[in-house]
Amino acid sequence: MNMSRFALVVCPHCRNPFIIEPGPRIVSCRNCNKRLEAARLKVFFSSDNFQEVQAARASVVAGLSGDSAGFEEAAPRLGRDVMERIGERLQERRFIEDKRRVNEKMEEEARQTRKKGQQAILREAFEELSEKGDVAIEEYWAKVSFHGIDRLKFDQWVEKMVETGVAYSPKYGFLRKS
Kindly give the confidence (pLDDT) of every residue in the chain, 178 residues in length, as a single tens digit, with 9 standing for 90 and above.
446 788 888 888 888 888 888 777 888 888 888 888 888 888 878 888 888 888 888 877 777 666 666 555 555 555 555 555 555 544 455 556 666 777 777 777 666 656 567 888 888 899 999 998 899 999 999 888 877 788 888 999 899 888 888 898 888 889 998 8
> What was the pLDDT predicted at 69?
62
Q: CATH for 106-177?
A: 1.10.10
Do the beta carbons of residue 173 and residue 137 sit within 8 Å?
yes
> What was the pLDDT predicted at 1?
41
0.85 exceeded by pTM:
no
> What was the pLDDT predicted at 117?
78
E strand or H helix that includes residue 83: helix 80-90
Domain ranges within the chain, ordered by starting residue: 6-91, 106-177
Do the beta carbons of residue 113 and residue 148 sit within 8 Å?
yes
> What was the pLDDT predicted at 78?
58
Sequence letter at residue 110: A
